[in-house]
Structure 1
Amino acid sequence: MSEAVRAYSLLTEFDVSLFRSGKHFKLYEKLGSHTVIREGKEGVHFAVWAPNAHAVSVIGNFNGWNPHSHPLYVRWDSSGIWEGFIEGLQLGEVYKYHIHSNTGEHLEKADPFALLNETPPMTASVVSTTWYQWGDSAWMRNRKDQQRLDKPFSVYEMHVGSWMRDPSDPARFLTYREVAEKLVPYIKEMGFTHVEFLPVMEHPYYPSWGYQITGYFAASSRYGSPQDLMYLIESLHKQDIGVILDWVPSHYPGDAHGLYKFDGSHLFEHADPRKGFHPDWKSYIFNYGRNEVRSFLISNAFFWLDRYHIDGLRVDAVASMLYLDYSRQVGEWEPNEFGGRENLESVHFLKELNEAVYNHFSDVQTIAEESTSWPGVSRPTFQGGLGFGMKWMMGWMHDTLNYFKEDPIHRAYHHDQMTFGTVYGFHENFMLPLSHDEVVYGKKSLVYKMPGDEWQKFANLRALYLYMYTFVGTKLLFMGGEFGQTSEWNVNQSLDWHLTQYAPHRGMQRFVRDLNMLYRSSPALYEKGFSPDGFHWIELGDRENSVFAYRRSGHDDANDILVVLNLTPVVRDYRVGVPAEGMWEIVLNSDDVSYYGSGIHQQSAESEKIPWMNCLASIVVKLPPLAGLVLKRI
């Protein structure tokens, strides 16, 4: 077999110019390995960015991993791109780049643009393709209407490898296609509008949950091929279920085959450890000031939206990107040029990312995991914001869980934790997250965070879920929470699906399903989910009884709903102000016996002309213990 041939390129001068200026957003079409036909001869074109390399070659089984037999050739334009054509190679060929650095090191690196990698712990890249005959045209054509901010967003967050395992062999992962056969009907039945996958990009260390990525363009081969993942996404789309991917542009690990010191220099990461090393995760931070790195990252976002038909990206660890002093002590960080703690290069990158994504994919959403009070995370860049579509409401999550952890006898002293969210709840387009981070590392499962005996724990959790689904913003629930998983999430095993045979868990699962159906069928709960016009406190000061009442409104006031929460175990006959006279029907009661509740039941209540709680009329309702009621006027 002959050595790599230099006189062939997929890259034009315009491609190189865009790349070097940070404006090439489809590098996956040009860099990496691509099967091509050159002068009637089939083979693979390789292209890799390694500007500080002395020499680069392709090594693999096909040449006995000999670094001298198939060299690549550096382009004449000072771009630092090495490329070449190797005749006879086909899909499935295993390879790496051998890089002889300018400092004398000899490195073996996986391809940063590889579409597939070997299954860990093996680390080589595989010549592959993302060609797929998609069958989700109806979803793609109509998703703009499904994903607007005035539409319901109920997200089921899950980890592919631990959602469900093979019952006959619990150590075996289900493939993407096997997951599809189980997951799609389940999500359809449960009523979630979207699935969010924890990172599916290739990662060498499985317990990192996918957040330590080495193959940014490669779907993890643990579960199958790129086409198998596409089948899973397509299957969800065919049932009108959107797909969000967790995406990690904030850091990456230092594995020898990965991006770290890729060509012997600090190529992708910032050379200054005060900006380039993450003390919490012992990982490396992208150099957002380097044009080529921004092209790499934005191209990666485009890749998943383009080639995999992804409907949204949840961007991980945004707070760590925004602040130069994030998790750093005095002396461990350097202020920006204006003396501040803001990472201006990262801010520029995030704005450019969102502008590019929404310009090219106007019907998707970007969602920031951002835990600070940075202003305008989900506001347009032309208004000074970062340009995300939504932001996780971490403050609401912490306050709400802290409140519900309290024994009801003490909740009167923590009443404001339930009401404070509306003070800032409309500054951003908030998503309410009860995510994976809350059920690991000794934090307990959601149901075991609740106080009381078994019945009270489940009653409290049902009340919390009802509060989440009827509060402002969109919703996210981590897998297992929907049936009251009792143990913490363990990435190395399946969820405890056997629990659903027991009444408390079966009732919780039924309740979450009914909550999703209520949410999706009630415009008052989502049409003004990010507007103060859509939420009105009726009773927020009854701390003695731990009772809360509020009204949700959509575009048509006739569809308003009323929510009343009783967060003590005492049954109460309680007068509540109502915004309109008439008969009010209880459409959801978290204490229903079908949910494992006590069965305190009232079908409806007729208003009386008794002014109450600043309303002209009122009703009397029997409040079940540790429960919530949702009422609509009929």
Structure 2
Amino acid sequence: MVTRKAQSLNNKAKTDSKAANEPKHIGLVVNDGYLAPYEDAIRGRHDHALWKLGQLTRNGKISLEDFASGYDYYGLHKLSRGWVFREWAPNATEIYLVGDFNNWQETEKYKAKRIEGTGNWELKISEKGMKHGDLYKMHVYWNGGSGERIPAWSQRVVQDEETKIFSAQVWNPEKPYVWRKKKFKPNKSPLLIYECHIGMSQDAEKVGTYTEFKENVLPRIIEDGYNCIQIMAIQEHPYYGSFGYHVSSFFAASSRFGTPEELKSLIDEAHRNGIAVIMDIVHSHAVKNEVEGLGNLAGDPNQYFYPGDRHEHPAWDSLCFDYGKDEVMHFLLSNCKYWLKEFHFDGFRFDGVTSMLYYSHGLGEAFCNYGDYFNGHEDDNAICYLTIANKLIHEINPNAITIAEEVSGMPGLAAKFEDGGYGFDYRMAMNIPDYWIKTIKEQSDENWKPSSIFWEVKNRRPDEKTISYCESHDQALVGDKTIVFRLIDADMYWHFKKGDENEVVHRGIALHKMIRLVTAAAINGGYLNFMGNEFGHPEWIDFPREGNGWSYKYARRQWNLVDNKDLCYHYLGDFDREMLSVIKSVRNFQRTNVQEIWHNDGDQILAFMRGDLIFVFNFNPTRSFTDYGFLVPTGSYDVVLNTDAKKFGGNGLADDSMTHMTNFDPLYVKDHKEWLKLYIPARSAVVLKKN
């Protein structure tokens, strides 16, 4: 006779056995069942990364961080006695160093030797053989040719002001930089990023410096309430107008902005004020230049780059790294570690990730369904590199920040490695700026639909954090327009003085604030703003070039405009500061649920709640509403931000000093909700906080 207890145990054993035999889904599929048909591909990519990780670390005999230490070996280094120089150049037959120390002449004393059985070259130099500040290059020979080159691992590269020629520079200052803030942990609650460019950060029509940025711009960022700066164009690049995206020397901080010590001082000062510092890192491609860059370092154009049809990027006029080569992995991973360890950067925004992921670079593809991400046109080598790079970065600094600039929507990009993801902390919400541009260009104000706006600003995968933004540097380049310029255009020149605003200016100021508020209010990770756009910087960005007479007029930021209280710019800047303050008033704001309260496309009204904050928007250009009611948690509410306040350039039509009490409704007693009735002026938004 079987007892009930024995039968129960028997049934449990069968259930456990059945569960054990059922396949365990990888985390990405658990989080999103629609990915189930592609689980094999997801696992394949994950296993590929694990295999490569084992290969690079000799199956755990060394750490990934130990592997990524190439910059300590290659390049020029000062030893206790003398100097040592090393370069990876397997196709070379001879390498000489020439420079100030030997009158730029090839001599046996400065001839490198190949390390037997490798593609590495080494040269040992006496103590007096070179000194700090000397300029130098390589003369490289190969079968059938020779050339003058800057070493691939150079940590200091400078340009002659007269000849415009680049050279490597011996850099060994007597007093190395001493960090004042040795340990720093970024504040990510939420991450509020100020995207910036050192060179164009000053009022003057010139190239700004690290020190000028530290003294003149960093205090503004601190005062405005941002907790992270994202610096562009750090890696050395021959052409200033490339915005830093055509990199030549990956380990050299651009000397056009100052010295390495001055960059370290900027980062140190930011850390001392609670500001994280991340850099735009460009590992998606490299400049084609041969003398300054890696294009043909030793007679082999494919040393660092893919051969054949994949060698050149068809849209960017640049070269594509061969991520399948261990030596290239070593170079790029070491580059990640170098900037983290040597300069104390807190992480990276990886540029051009879409271009890396696909053989097509994402060009001409629509990406309409999940099958488009798993149809065999993906570069598994690049995916593997990005995954391992994220592993490395977080092994070095568990608090590091990594952001993917990616437009195709590849699933798993900002998901955990253990779940089959690529390990980024955030991905850029690149749909949002595109949406705002399209809306402003193509829709009349009467057709702005709150339901569409709300869907767009919160359209993301629930298991991946994003950086939301209305506009970045991309939307400010010549040929494009910033949001404020799309809204106001030429009237900014003639009617942006207080008391002289026309209807176009009033509309532009109102919508500029509302667009930013609804975007920032719906974040699930962080928010980004490009330098100057917070106060509606006029015009576009156009770097000096032949077509504009090498002018710096549009490659700067006119801080004098926002500092002039007689102009309307400060309204937008003041609002941006208050908006960030409100968002930061809620602990872990980015983790709170975005709960829709109401939307009505006919009225053009939207309301949603996060924590104790209620956000109410009236996008209607002409209709104001009295006693417009919303069902909200019972209690009293105070206004903490109003886009229509006079101090932000609004009309000040509502009394923001009054406390709003909810009105009882017996139908909603069980839900603990009552009616909150508000006066909502046309084209305005208000934020209320529950007491």
* Aligned equivalent of 2:663, options 608, 611, 627: 608
Q: Which residue of 2 aligns with 1:128?
A: 171
Matched, 1:483 2:535: yes
Superimposed CA distance per residue, residues 447-481 of structure 1 (whole angstroms, 9 cap, x where no aligned partner): 12227601110110011111122112310000111
- Other structure's SS at 2:336 match: helix
Instruction: Give the counterpart of 1:108 among 138, 148, 160.
Output: 148
Q: Distance in 1 between matches of 2:375 and 2:676?
A: 58
AA aligned to 2:664 is K
Task: Give 2:131's aligned residue.
Answer: 90
Which of residues 436, 453, 459 in structure 1 aligns to 2:504? 453
List gaps (5 residues or longer) in structure 1.
1-13, 331-335, 529-533, 554-559
Aligned residue number for residue 248 of structure 2: 214
| In structure 2, C-alpha distance between the alignment counterparts of 1:300 and 1:270, rounded to whole Å | 16
Note the 1:47-196 alignment, pairs <5 A: 47-69=86-108, 70-76=110-116, 78-87=117-126, 88=128, 89-102=130-143, 104-119=144-159, 121-129=164-172, 131-137=176-182, 140-141=183-184, 143=185, 146-147=187-188, 151-166=189-204, 170-171=205-206, 173-196=207-230
Deviation per CA, 1:98-143, whole angstroms, max 9, x where unpaired?
11013x2111111221111112632110111484200013xx24x1
Please tell me whether residue 466 in structure 1 is matched to residue 517 in structure 2. Answer: yes
Q: How does 1:305-384 map to 2 (within 5 A)?
A: 305-326=340-361, 340-384=376-420
Change over 3 Å in CA distance of 1:261–1:547 after alignment to 2: same
Cα deviation 1:329-350 (Å, max 9, x = unaligned): 79xxxxx9x9711001101111
TM-score, normalization: structure 1? 0.87
- Classify 1:392/1:271 alpha carbon distance in 2 versus 1 (closer, same or farther; 3 Å): closer
Residue 525 (structure 1) shift: 2.5
8 Å contact kept, 1:602–1:621: no
Which amino acid in the other structure matches residue 378 of structure 1?
A
Greater CA drift, 578-587 or 363-372: 578-587
Deviations 1:26-64 (A, max 9, x none): 1111110011233xxxx3210000011111111112212
Matched AA of 2:323: Y
Compared CA separation, residues 61 and 524, structure 1 to 2 (3 A):
closer
- Residue from 439, 445, 460 that aligns with 1:424: 460
User: Do structure 1's residue 439 and structure 2's residue 437 form an aligned pair?
Assistant: no
Q: For residue 549 of structure 1, what is the aligned residue in structure 2?
A: 607
**Structure 2 CA distance for aligned equivalents of residues 582 and 16 of structure 1:** 62
In structure 2, C-alpha distance between the alignment counterparts of 1:84 and 1:244, rounded to whole Å: 35
Amino acid of the residue matched to residue 231 of structure 2? F
Within a 5 Å distance, the mapping from 1:247-266 to structure 2 comes to 247-257=281-291, 258-266=293-301
Alpha-carbon distance between aligned partners in 2 of 1:308 and 1:479, rounded to the nearest angstrom: 22
Sequence identity percentage: 27
2:589 alignment partner, one of 515, 525, 535: 525
TM-aligned CA deviation for residue 268 of structure 1: 4.2
Query: Is residue 232 of structure 2 the alignment partner of residue 232 of structure 1?
Result: no
Higher alpha-carbon deviation: 282-291 or 404-413: 404-413
Deviations 1:169-228 (A, max 9, x none): x33x23211221112211111111111111211111000011111111111111111001
CA displacement at 1:575 relative to structure 2: 2.7
1:25 corresponds in structure 2 to 68
Does the 8 Å contact 1:578/1:615 carry over to 2? no
Q: Distance in 2 between matches of 1:561 and 1:437?
A: 32
- Structure 1 residue 595: deviation in Å? 0.6
Distance 1:463 1:15 in 2: 51
CA contact under 8 A between 1:590 and 1:629: conserved in structure 2?
Answer: yes
Once the two structures are TM-superposed, the CA of residue 361 in structure 1 deviates from its matched residue by 1.1
CA distance in 2, matches of 1:609, 1:274: 70
| Structure 1 position 417, deviation (Å) | 4.2
> Deviation string for 1:335-370 (max 9, x for gaps)?
x9x971100110111111111111121111110001
After superposition, what is the alpha-carbon deviation per residue over 1:525-571, rounded to whole angstroms, capped at 9, x for unaligned?
2244xxxxx1111113x111211111113xxxxxx211011112222
Q: Partner letter of residue 180 of structure 2?
A: G
**Do the aligned partners of 1:60 and 1:94 also contact (CA within 8 Å) in 2?**
yes
**CA 527–597 in structure 1, closer or farther in 2 if over 3 Å, else same:** same
Equivalent pair of 1:366/1:389 in contact (CA under 8 Å): yes
**Which residue pairs with 2:570 in the alignment?**
506
In 1, distance between residues paired with 2:453 and 2:580?
25
Aligned to 2:571, the other structure's residue is in SS state: helix
Two-structure CA RMSD over aligned residues (Å): 2.5
Larger Rg: 2
Whether the 8 Å CA contact 1:524–1:552 is kept in 2: the answer is: no
Task: Flag the 1:407–1:498 CA change in 2: closer, same or farther, 3 A.
Answer: farther
Note if contact 1:184-1:239 (Cα within 8 Å) is conserved in structure 2: no
Q: d(CA) in 2 for partners of 1:363 and 1:15?
A: 22
In the TM superposition, what are the counterparts of 1:41-52 in structure 2 within 5 Å? 43-52=82-91
- Aligned residues of 2:450 and 2:604 also touching (Cα < 8 A): no
- Give the aligned residue type for 2:507: Q
Aligned amino acid, residue 203 of structure 1: H
SS in 1 for 2:166: coil
Displacement of 1:400 after TM fit? 3.4
**Length-normalised TM-score, structure 2:** 0.80
- Counterpart CA distance in 2 for 1:316 and 1:223 is 21
- Alignment partner of 1:516 is 2:580: yes
- SS of the equivalent of 1:259 reads coil
**Cα gap change, 1:426/1:356 in structure 2, threshold over 3 Å: closer, same or farther?**
same
Amino acid at match of 1:291: D
Which residue in 2 is equivalent to 1:9?
A: none
Which deviations, in whole Å up to 9, do the C-alpha atoms of 1:60-116 show, x marking residues without a partner? Answer: 12212223432101111x2211011111112212111111013x2111111221111
Q: CA deviation at 1:16?
A: 12
For residue 497 of structure 1, what is the aligned residue in structure 2?
A: 559
Return the letter of the residue paired with 2:542. Answer: N
How far off is 1:423 after superposition?
Answer: 4.4
Query: How many angstroms apart in 2 are the aligned matches of 1:525 and 1:46?
Result: 50
SS of corresponding position for 2:200: helix
> Structure 1 339/627 Cα, relative in aligned 2: closer, same or farther at 3 Å?
closer
Query: Residue 498 of structure 1: CA displacement?
Result: 2.7
Report the alpha carbon displacement of residue 420 of structure 1 after superposing the two structures with TM.
3.7
Extract unaligned runs of 5+ from structure 2. 1-55, 366-371, 489-502, 544-551
Query: In structure 1, what is the equivalent of residue 34 of structure 2?
Result: none
Please identify, of 468-477 and 309-318, the stretch whose mean Cα deviation from structure 2 is larger. 468-477
Query: Within 5 A, what are the aligned runs for 1:583-602?
Result: 583-602=636-655
